[in-house]
Amino acid sequence: MTRLPLLGFAVLLAASLGPSALAHDMAAMGGSNAPNGMGSHIHMDEHMKMTPARASTAQDAERADELLDTLRRALKPYHNYRSALAHGYRIFLPTIPQDVYHFTDYGAATEEYRGHFDPARPGSLLYVKNPDGEYALVGAMYSAPPQYTPEQLDALIPLGVAQWHQHVNICLPAGITLGDLLRGEVGAANPDMPGMLPIAASPDALDRDRRLGFMADGRFGFEGSIHDAGTCASAGGYLIPVAFGWMVHVYPFNGDDLRIAFGSAVPKPIAQ
């Protein structure tokens, strides 16, 4: 697959967040330091914005079934996660424990954020990690520009079967950017980074700092306890109102129940 440079994707996303976020991200893009991972159970809270639920129509169900058929065919080569890596997909925040891991093709994701939707080429693949450290494919994620209206999102995947979501009010420490997160950098090498645990705090503090970086103390990131600008600034960070854009998870392997395929819970992997 042809992929646009990661830097270009990060700049595109930063531009979608507004001038202040763009200025901060561009200023630090060449730096070396850098989320809580994006969880699998999509829920409405301070960090999540959802599209309004709509009653499903027969046309919605027909469109959704067609998308599932397309996605099943498109994902066949990637049941072995090593094939995804060989084709240019990159694991988002591989060191952060997550319920579901996003393997992203940044070229395809960039096209989605430009408004080019291809059901056969989702920007991200979704895997769960088994106890043995291997990844099992469970689905895919599509993205859309952050400025899209519910009507525009409905034209891509009907809102009668799926709720798109945005990650909002994300507090990141000063010195960490969206570009850093895309590169998997969480500031683990900087013991003075806000969010790091003091080494004397607990026996496993050093290990947690090395693995989780600025998310070690639980205040920062996509599932952090901070979700307002004032508290974020007081903690040594800055607030991102909208991180990335609209997203929707699709799980096509557990039968034809659309409530599961477009639901908020990650289904168990199906043996292939």
State mean pLDDT over 15-35. Answer: 33
Among 25, 21, 41, 2, which residue's Cα sits nearest to residue 183? 25
Model pLDDT, residue 103:
98
Side by side, the strands of the sheet bearing 101-104 are: 48-50, 165-173, 237-250, 135-144, 124-129, 101-104, 90-91
267 assigned to some structural domain:
no
Model pLDDT, residue 20:
36
222 assigned to some structural domain:
yes
pTM of the prediction? 0.84
Angstrom distance (rounded) from CA 38 to CA 184: 13
* Number of domains observed in the structure of the chain: 1
123 assigned to some structural domain:
yes
Angstrom distance (rounded) from CA 155 to CA 1: 26
1 assigned to some structural domain:
no
104 assigned to some structural domain:
yes
Angstrom distance (rounded) from CA 66 to CA 212: 40
User: For residue 110, what are the domain limits?
Assistant: 6-261
Spatial contact of 257 and 68, defined as CB atoms under 8 Å apart:
no
70 assigned to some structural domain:
yes
272 assigned to some structural domain:
no
Angstrom distance (rounded) from CA 39 to CA 128: 11
Tens digit of each residue's pLDDT (9 = 90 or more) over 243-262: 999 999 999 999 899 999 99
Give 2's pLDDT tier (boundaries 50, 70, 90): very low
Q: Both tokens of residue 79? A: 């049941």
53 assigned to some structural domain:
yes
> Average pLDDT, whole number, for the chain?
86
